Amino acid sequence: MKQHLLSSILGAGLLLAQPSADNISIKVDGMTMDVESAAFIEDGRTFVPFRAVAEALDVHVNWNPSSQQVTTQSDEGVVRMTVGNTEAEVNKQSVHLDAPPMIREGRTFVPIRFIAESLGTNVQWQSDTQTVNITTEATELYTLGFYGLGSFQQRDAIAELSSTAFTWGSISKEGHFQMSRSTDGKLNDYYWPENHPDASTDEIIDLSLSNGRDAWFMVHGINRDHIASLLHSEAKQKEAIAEIVAVADENDFSGVMIDFEGFTPEDKKLSSLYTTFLDQLDEALNKKQLALSVAIAPPNNFFSEYEYEQIGQIVDMAVVMLYDYHPEGDAHQRPEPMNLVKKGLEETLHFIPREKVLVGINLVHETPETMGEKIELANTYRTKGVSLWLLRQYTDDYQQAMSETTDDLKD
């Protein structure tokens, strides 16, 4: 919210548009606001409920009923205004409003132009949908790639991303943490690899950590029964937490990422145990100054029985796996449907702060062009960034599309 953006064309549109007052909606960084008092038009100006909008922008609001004065505090400074008065104060400087704040239905409303000028946002009027779009200043996208399952040939791409999650840990049938290639006579896809003649595991981790980047040690639990064996035993949980933290600490990882999947609506108890497990793991990681992240399905996925709000409070970052909307076993490279991806992202953002959320993209399902469209969602909704499953798919054409998309977003 550092940038003041309001074009003369935009200002004219906000002054002259005359939509029906009953149908005006407000979006803040892509999310439609659910407000008790609707925006309205008066004397050619669009008025919005100030407290609701300000708080959506993480601005502290104080109301003095005796003086009818509203005071806000944010990164932009201190703003004071009085109901019925066209003179406001912004950082101790007098500012003239083109229309005074007013009270309706017990709520203070201000002209939308004032939102733009005082809170450092960009405001646009979308006439076809009668929507006020408020966007905050964009930040550089955090990019994460998943390394493993045959990604060695694409290891150089690690240096182009903000972070890497190494898929080298999993949960066994008996509910134990493991990193072995083979267990119970079966091959395990998520294992700690042997050193390659061209690059050791330490060298690959160091590549991810270079220049201040992050490296995450990832633990998979993609079999519900394996997860249940772990979560139903306090002793196994304690043992797994100790071992996972030790691996992350001894190998200089930035933190741990947990990917436990398969929770259905019948798994409420198991989901609650998972949240408790994350809380205990986070406590152990904090002692080593290590971070915790998760990979989770969105609420509009069948395997979505997560305690999203509680998880959002515990973790430092959440990869939202916005894919697998197509029938399982579909052999064709069909991009994930944008309407379902957007719906899943919006539903997630109701529970988990956007600054913690990565838009999960499955490169197996996307073309370079459609990958770019999904990356743009992260910018529209101002999430922390994007994640790419899997780096073995991150070939030159995808890397070029990533570069072009992020360059366009900067412009």
Q: Are residues 120 and 151 in the same domain?
A: no
The SS3 call for residue 98 is coil
Q: Are residues 233 and 185 in the same domain?
A: yes
Q: Are residues 90 and 165 in the same domain?
A: no
Domain final residue pick, 135, 164, 197: 135
Angle at 370 between CA 207 and CA 356, to 5 degrees: 55
Read off the CATH number of the domain in which 278 is found.
3.20.20.80
- Give the range of the structural domain holding residue 321, as residue numbers without chain letter: 142-410
> Does 80 reside within a domain?
yes
> Does 2 reside within a domain?
no
> Does 3 reside within a domain?
no
Sign (positive or negative) of CA dihedral 105, 108, 110, 115: negative
> Does 285 reside within a domain?
yes
Q: Are residues 93 and 111 in the same domain?
A: yes
Cβ 101 vs Cβ 84: under 8 Å: yes
Q: Which residues of 371-386 are buried (b: 16+ CB within 10 A; e: fewer)?
A: bbbbbbbbbbbbbbbb
> Does 350 reside within a domain?
yes
Q: Are residues 52 and 193 in the same domain?
A: no
> Does 320 reside within a domain?
yes
Q: Are residues 165 and 228 in the same domain?
A: yes
Q: Are residues 171 and 291 in the same domain?
A: yes
Q: Rounded distance, CA 58 to CA 1, Å?
A: 10
- Count how many domains the chain has: 2
Q: Rounded distance, CA 159 to CA 209, Å?
A: 9
Residue where the block lists tokens 């395997």: 303
Domain final residue pick, 86, 106, 135: 135
Q: Are residues 125 and 189 in the same domain?
A: no
Whether omega for the bond prior to residue 358 falls within 30 degrees of 0, making it cis, is no
Q: Are residues 185 and 235 in the same domain?
A: yes
Query: Along the 411 residues of the chain, how does pLDDT read in single tens digits?
Result: 333 333 322 333 344 344 444 588 888 899 888 877 888 888 888 899 988 888 888 888 899 999 999 998 888 889 999 999 999 999 999 999 989 999 998 889 998 878 777 888 888 888 888 888 898 888 899 999 999 999 999 999 999 999 999 999 999 999 999 999 976 667 889 999 999 999 999 999 999 999 899 999 999 999 999 999 999 999 999 999 999 999 999 999 999 999 999 999 999 999 999 999 999 999 999 999 999 999 999 999 999 999 999 999 999 999 999 999 876 545 566 899 999 999 999 999 999 999 999 999 999 999 999 999 999 999 999 999 999 999 999 999 999 999 999 888 876
Cβ neighbours around 339 below 10 Å, total: 9
State pTM to two decimals.
0.84
Domain final residue pick, 135, 161, 194: 135
Residue 342's contacts (CB-CB under 8 Å, 6 or more residues apart) are: 377
Q: Are residues 310 and 361 in the same domain?
A: yes
Q: Are residues 233 and 291 in the same domain?
A: yes
Nearest to 246 by CA among 300, 287, 190: 287
